[in-house]
């Protein structure tokens, strides 16, 4: 730290003239601080002088002691120097007598110990049995641990010294050593039993603390501590014997150092505790291996054990054990191994979801227990618990695909082979069983995703469900195309019957499926945030549109079946046979037969669409027949009367399924065409204008019906067509922005059925919006056509 000079300090204090008045107070303050510093310095100097004096006195006393030892050693040397031989012999005799006495004493003590050892071992055994039979067993009180250990330690020391001396004694034989070993077998057995009992107790340290038997843990640790110190002494003595000279080493009474077996009780204790934790997790896993949800739900015992360790076990252990971090790390390690085992066992989706939630809870709970994150390394599943969600979604999708593939295989098989009729409800509607089962699966998977409480998971599952629905819809579209084509192109005996009924059933199922998806959307949207609501809505609305597309394809096929039966009749429209044969009556009767069946078995909403499709197809067929009419084939005015009669009959037919006011908009096109056909050439443009303004020029079509009129000569015809071309150009008449029914009218080279799949649902948007074409057709049903005859 920087210091100020005296001049700088003065300049800081005396900045203003008024500061001179404060000089006396500054002087007193400085004098007071000086006296305080002087007192501290005097005290420090006195303490240092006292310490120096004590050191000098101790040094002087040490020097006097060394001098005294020197004088004694010199006296011994002087005594030995006088008459060396005589004095040396006496000294050797004293040494030998001393050795003999020491050996005799040790031998007597050894014999006494050997004689009393059996009784002592029996006593120890009774004490050990008493502890083992205590209530609670290894988790019980065990009051005799220390007495047993003390007596065993003495006997084992005696055993070790005896065997070591026998080993080192060159006069002892192998047989004598074997006798000694057998003599100590009983002691060895009780020693092993006692050590096994210690490790049994060590496995139950948490239970001991839980049951209030902390005293047993303290006694166990005291034994471990004593054995550890004995191990340290033995190791130290062995090191000294290795580095010291032979003479110096022989002066140690510590031949016992080589005799002792190093026990490493501390390491064994920690290993036993670790293995006990491992066994706890293994046993818990085995007990719950067939109930993984129960396994996850019951993992709370880990928190209870950790709380017990922190509150009750930590105070019992010496600080250098650092027992809490050691045990918490062990719990975390074996928990991680067990969770990995659970994941590797390919559990059901709900287990993965619950496991992911539990791992999140585990991190929070350990933080609340004030467990440092450093003790929980590496994190569970290497911190990749989010992968469980990926596995969860994959498992859901895999199972869903598997179930749906099996379901579709069964449903499409029924559709193709048609060995029995579709299911029929009480109201007569046909259907198949798979829809309910499929959406039961869809709802189950969405419910599982909701259990994750993660909007992203739900979006993923909904998106995968939507893809699966799209796949199934495409399968149905392809199957309808194949079966409809076979129905039309092959002979009746070459294809199974009942296709009409199955197409009706499929159409009903598609509307039912769209309703299920709508219900699912309504249920899910309020449960997620705006972030995910839009994605879910987009996916499910696409699924709804897909079902409506399949339903449209079904209605298209149903219309196609009708006109497949009518293709010969329709081919004869606007031909000579048209004037003589009741073609329209045949058409109406055929449509009536089909429509009666359709109305009875179709969902009313789909039937309404079917009516629209059939009406469009009928009008397009009739208009196409007019376009294909050969030159001068329209016999005027009989042809006009015939067309009006046909329209009146068809109007009367369709009025059975649709309100007259609604039908007017559909039949308006025919009124325009009739006006063009019967119009005077000079006034033709006026009638043509109302038609072209709504449907576009359609000059090829108009030229065709004008050429078919037999009341126009070639000059009139050419002048009329030229006039129309000029008017179209002058008035800039173009095609309407929204295509009308005229875009589907086929020319002479096109067959009726070649484009029927496009004929149904001319106004395709009507199906999805639920609205139908209406118009101001100023005719009052069949009566109007009758009046026009």
Q: Can you spell out the DSSP letters for 219-253? A: HHHHHHHHHHHHHHHHHHHHHHHHHS-HHHHHT-S
For residue 389, what pLDDT is reported? 80
Q: Is 444 exposed, middle or buried (0-12, 13-18, 19+ CB in 10 A)?
A: middle
What is the C-alpha to C-alpha distance for residues 75 and 86, in angstroms, rounded to an integer? Answer: 17
Which tokens hold the place of 598?
A: 């359709």
Phi then psi for residue 767, to 5 deg, are -65, -45
Geometric angle at alpha carbon 265, from 260 and 270, rounded to 5°: 160
Cβ atoms within 10 Å of 474's Cβ, excluding its own: 13
pLDDT digits (tens, 9 = 90+) for 23-56: 777 778 888 888 888 888 888 888 888 888 888 8
SS3 423: strand
What is the C-alpha to C-alpha distance for residues 350 and 354, in angstroms, rounded to an integer? Answer: 6
pLDDT digits (tens, 9 = 90+) for 334-347: 999 999 999 988 88
Cβ atoms within 10 Å of 229's Cβ, excluding its own: 9
For residue 385, what pLDDT is reported? 77
Helix (H) or strand (E) holding 514: helix 499-524
Among 26-30, 426-430, 615-619, the least confident range: 26-30
pLDDT at 565 over 80: yes
The answer to whether 373 and 363 are in contact (CB under 8 A) is: no
pLDDT at 70 over 50: yes
DSSP 422: P
Strands (E), 608-729: none
pLDDT at 595 over 50: yes
pLDDT digits (tens, 9 = 90+) for 661-682: 989 999 999 999 999 999 988 8
Work out the average pLDDT over 484-489: 90
Q: Which of 535, 541, 542 is nearest to 459 (CA)?
A: 535
- Confidence category of residue 456, pLDDT binned at 50, 70, 90: confident
Q: Which of 666, 723, 736, 726 is nearest to 696 (CA)?
A: 736
pLDDT at 751 over 60: no
Instruction: Name residues whose C-beta falls within 8 Å of residue 285's C-beta, 6 or more positions apart in sequence.
Output: 295, 338, 341, 342
Q: Which of 228, 197, 220 is nearest to 146 (CA)?
A: 220
- Confidence category of residue 1, pLDDT binned at 50, 70, 90: very low
- Confidence category of residue 460, pLDDT binned at 50, 70, 90: confident
pLDDT digits (tens, 9 = 90+) for 705-720: 999 999 988 998 999 9
Q: Which of 767, 443, 73 is nearest to 451 (CA)?
A: 443
Percent of the chain with pLDDT over 90: 45
The helix, strand and coil proportions of the chain, stated in percent and rounded to the nearest 5, come to 80, 0, 20
Whose tokens are 């039908």? That residue is: 663
For residue 225, what pLDDT is reported? 93
Long-range CB pairs of 75-80 (<8 Å, 24+ gap) are none
SS3 379: coil
For residue 755, what pLDDT is reported? 46
CA distances from 563 to 135, 457, 599, 731, 775 (A): 93, 49, 17, 39, 26
Instruction: Name residues whose C-beta falls within 8 Å of residue 612's C-beta, 6 or more positions apart in sequence.
Output: 761, 762, 763, 766, 772, 773
Work out the average pLDDT over 474-490: 92
pLDDT digits (tens, 9 = 90+) for 636-653: 999 999 999 999 999 999
C-alpha 372, offset from chain centre: 27
The answer to whether 452 and 384 are in contact (CB under 8 A) is: no
Percent of the chain with pLDDT over 70: 83
What is the C-alpha to C-alpha distance for residues 779 and 735, in angstroms, rounded to an integer? Answer: 26
The answer to whether 742 and 665 are in contact (CB under 8 A) is: no
pLDDT at 749 over 80: no
What is the C-alpha to C-alpha distance for residues 367 and 466, in angstroms, rounded to an integer? Answer: 40
pLDDT digits (tens, 9 = 90+) for 128-178: 888 888 888 888 888 888 998 898 888 887 777 777 776 666 556 666 667
Which tokens hold the place of 360?
A: 């999140």
Tell me the pLDDT of the chain averaged across its residues: 84
CA distances from 380 to 193, 283, 331, 338, 392 (A): 39, 20, 11, 10, 17
What is the C-alpha to C-alpha distance for residues 34 and 15, in angstroms, rounded to an integer? Answer: 24
For residue 101, what pLDDT is reported? 60
What is the C-alpha to C-alpha distance for residues 725 and 11, in angstroms, rounded to an integer? Answer: 112
Q: Which of 238-252, 703-717, 743-757 has the highest mean pLDDT?
A: 703-717
User: Is the dihedral angle over the CA atoms 783, 787, 788, 789 positive or is it negative?
Assistant: positive
pLDDT at 616 over 50: yes
Work out the average pLDDT over 403-409: 90
pLDDT at 312 over 50: yes
For residue 756, what pLDDT is reported? 46
Q: Which of 29-33, 523-527, 768-772 has the highest mean pLDDT?
A: 523-527
CA distances from 457 to 391, 431, 463, 693, 750 (A): 11, 33, 10, 54, 52
C-alpha 600, offset from chain centre: 48
DSSP 316: G
Which tokens hold the place of 663?
A: 């039908």
Q: Is 293 exposed, middle or buried (0-12, 13-18, 19+ CB in 10 A)?
A: middle
The answer to whether 546 and 470 are in contact (CB under 8 A) is: yes
- Confidence category of residue 191, pLDDT binned at 50, 70, 90: confident
What is the C-alpha to C-alpha distance for residues 639 and 652, in angstroms, rounded to an integer? Answer: 20
- Confidence category of residue 116, pLDDT binned at 50, 70, 90: low
- Confidence category of residue 105, pLDDT binned at 50, 70, 90: low
Q: How far apart are the first and last CA of the chain?
A: 121
Instruction: Name residues whose C-beta falls within 8 Å of residue 349's C-beta, 6 or more positions apart in sequence.
Output: 392, 395, 396, 399, 445, 448
Which tokens hold the place of 544?
A: 């709804």
Q: Which of 340, 366, 334 is nearest to 355 (CA)?
A: 340
pLDDT at 258 over 70: no
Helix (H) or strand (E) holding 553: helix 530-565
The answer to whether 506 and 415 are in contact (CB under 8 A) is: yes
């Amino acid at each position: 730290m920087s210091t100020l000079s005296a001049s700088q300090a003065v300049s800081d204090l005396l900045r203003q003239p008024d500061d001179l008045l404060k000089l006396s107070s500054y002087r007193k303050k400085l004098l007071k601080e000086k006296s305080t510093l002087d007192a501290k310095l005097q005290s420090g100097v006195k303490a240092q002088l006292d310490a120096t004096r004590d050191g000098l006195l101790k040094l002087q006393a040490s020097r006097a002691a060394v001098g005294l030892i020197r004088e004694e050693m010199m006296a011994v040397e002087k005594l030995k120097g006088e008459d060396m031989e005589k004095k040396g012999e006496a000294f050797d005799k004293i040494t030998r007598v001393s050795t003999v006495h020491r050996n005799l004493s040790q031998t007597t003590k050894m014999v006494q110990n050997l004689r009393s050892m059996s009784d002592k071992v029996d006593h120890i055994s009774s004490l050990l049995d008493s502890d083992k039979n205590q209530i609670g067993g290894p988790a019980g009180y065990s009051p005799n641990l220390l007495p047993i250990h003390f007596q065993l330690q003495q006997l084992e020391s005696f055993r070790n010294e005896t065997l070591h001396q026998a080993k080192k004694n060159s006069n002892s034989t192998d047989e004598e050593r074997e006798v000694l070993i057998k003599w100590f077998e009983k002691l060895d057995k009780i020693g092993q039993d006692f050590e096994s009992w210690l490790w049994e107790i060590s496995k139950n340290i948490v239970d001991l603390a839980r049951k209030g038997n902390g005293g047993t843990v303290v006694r166990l640790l005291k034994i471990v501590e004593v054995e550890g110190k004995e191990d340290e002494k033995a190791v130290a003595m062995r090191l000294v014997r290795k580095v010291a000279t032979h003479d110096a080493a022989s002066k140690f009474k510590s031949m016992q150092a080589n005799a002792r077996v190093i026990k490493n009780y501390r390491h064994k204790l920690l290993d036993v505790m670790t293995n006990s934790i491992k066994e706890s997790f293994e046993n818990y896993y085995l007990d719950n291996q067939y109930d993984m949800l129960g396994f996850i739900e019951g993992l709370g015992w880990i928190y209870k054990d950790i709380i017990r360790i922190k509150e009750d076990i930590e105070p019992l252990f010496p600080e250098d054990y650092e027992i809490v971090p050691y045990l918490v790390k062990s719990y975390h390690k074996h928990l991680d191994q067990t969770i990995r085992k659970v994941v590797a066992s390919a559990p059901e989706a709900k287990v993965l979801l619950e496991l992911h939630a539990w791992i999140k809870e585990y991190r929070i709970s350990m933080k609340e227990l004030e467990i440092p994150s450093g003790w929980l390394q590496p994190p569970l599943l290497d911190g990749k618990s989010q992968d469980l969600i990926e596995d969860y979604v994959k498992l859901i999708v895999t199972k869903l695909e598997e179930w749906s593939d099996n379901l579709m295989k069964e449903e499409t098989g029924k559709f193709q082979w048609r060995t029995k009729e579709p299911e029929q409800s009480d109201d007569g509607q046909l259907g198949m069983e798979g829809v309910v089962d499929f959406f039961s699966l869809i709802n189950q998977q969405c419910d599982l995703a909701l259990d994750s409480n993660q909007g992203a998971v739900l979006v993923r599952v909904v998106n995968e469900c939507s893809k699966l629905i799209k796949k199934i819809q495409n399968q149905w579209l392809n199957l309808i195309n194949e079966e409809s084509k076979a129905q039309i192109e092959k002979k009746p005996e070459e294809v199974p019957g009942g296709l009409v009924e199955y197409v009706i059933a499929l159409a009903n199922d598609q509307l039912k499926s769209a309703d299920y998806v709508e219900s699912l959307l309504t249920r899910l949207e309020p449960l997620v945030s705006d972030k995910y609501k839009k994605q879910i809505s987009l996916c499910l609305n696409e699924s709804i549109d897909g079902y409506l597309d399949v339903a449209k394809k079904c209605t298209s096929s149903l219309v196609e079946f009708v006109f497949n039966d009518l293709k010969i009749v329709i081919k004869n429209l606007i031909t000579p046979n048209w004037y003589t044969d009741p073609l329209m009556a045949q058409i109406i009767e055929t449509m009536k037969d089909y429509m009666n069946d359709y109305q009875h078995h179709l969902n009313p909403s789909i039937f309404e669409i079917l009516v629209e499709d059939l009406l469009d197809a009928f009008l397009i067929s009739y208009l196409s027949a007019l376009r294909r009419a050969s030159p001068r084939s329209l016999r005027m005015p009989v042809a006009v009367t015939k067309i009006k009669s046909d329209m009146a009959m068809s109007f009367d037919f369709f009025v059975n399924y649709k309100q007259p006011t609604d039908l007017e908009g559909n039949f308006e096109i025919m009124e325009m065409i009739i006006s063009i056909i019967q119009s005077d050439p000079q006034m033709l443009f006026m009638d043509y204008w109302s038609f072209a303004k709504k449907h576009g020029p359609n000059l090829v079509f108009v030229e065709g019906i004008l050429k078919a009129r037999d009341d126009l000569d070639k000059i009139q015809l050419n002048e009329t067509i030229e006039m129309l071309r000029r008017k179209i150009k002058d008035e800039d008449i173009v095609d309407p922005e929204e295509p009308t029914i005229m875009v589907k009218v086929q020319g002479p080279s096109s067959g009726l059925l070649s484009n029927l799949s496009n004929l149904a649902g001319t106004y395709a948007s009507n199906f999805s919006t639920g609205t139908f074409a209406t118009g101001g057709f100023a005719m009052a049903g069949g009566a109007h056509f009758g009046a026009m005859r």
